[in-house]
Amino acid sequence: MNILKTPLKTGRMDLKNRLVMPPMASSKATEEGRVTPQLRDFYAEKSAGGYIGLFILEHSYVSIEGKAGKGQLSVSDNRDIDGLKDLAAIIHENGSKVMAQISHAGGSAKSEITGKRVLGASAVVVPRTGTVPEEMTGQDIRKVIDDFASAAVRVKQAGFDGVEIHSAHGYLLNQFYSPLTNRREDEYNAFTVENRLKLHLEIIEAIRNAVGKDYPVALRLGACDYMQGGTTLQDSVMAAQILEKAGIDMLDISGGLCGSARPGVKEQGYFSELAEAVKRSVGIPVMLTGGITDAAYAERLLKDNKADLIGVGRAVLKDSLWAKRAI
């Protein structure tokens, strides 16, 4: 049996196959973060034929201070909704489902792009960007929680099949989760995994209250920093169980402060050890990404119970017919 072709049915998620196009920044939005004809054409081409079961749209900022870079898509304003509706409709018409990933860059933002203060979990260097943000106050944190909840409502209003919270690749929630970037001394401190997830749980609760208990909510977890003193696989097994209990419907496993690649490892599925351990610890679907370019290898990862869903990014980005051949 070809598992890649089989449907995935859970309480809140119903996908026709196990292939996912994960979020990848296209930098095709306007300066204000709005959808452009180029962005519509991009997703029309990638979703043509409906061979991909699920699209997770590129990371979209929940507030201007959370913007990561030029050309990034916005979910920070009600004026974004019409353009987002266009993207959801295009992907649906081609036969696939689509989630939107909502994100705050935190200390990975740049004030020359946002025109705002750079805020993070703590005033320490953020790896990969080298920036030192201001430590967020309680008021800043409450605003972030509201911004994520409002963004999720816009995603639902735009007709998406679900929303994914971004907590990986050195962005804000990853900064709270990692002991390397969380040196706080309040209730959000890094002394326990539960404390490091406190902001996550408050955002999940706010989103659930805003979109309802039946709307699918996923989370991309930076499950290991691969840095001394950083987040470990053991942390993330515990975190996965906490997040499942909080109402997360799917976990999308990736790298933490190291980014979307695993240092020193080039082989396909380089986060498979993380996904496999998380999958063994939870009952919700687990998605694996990481350099997967071969359909047969994707199938093997599924058969070996490394994950329930396979994200193929760069291969689909380079070749829009990859999914057709794979399925």
Active-site residue numbers? 171
DSSP, collapsed to helix, strand or coil, labels residue 122 as coil
Helices (H), the chain: 37-47, 81-93, 111-114, 138-157, 172-177, 193-196, 198-211, 233-245, 272-281, 295-303, 314-318, 322-326
By DSSP bridging, strand 54-61 and strand 73-74 are parallel
Neighbouring CB atoms inside 10 A of 109's CB total 29
Radius of gyration of the chain (CA): 18
Residue 60 is inside which H or E element, if any?
Answer: strand 54-61
Residue 309 near residue 20, CB atoms below 8 Å: yes
Residue in this structure with the two tokens 């967020």, named with its chain if needed: 136
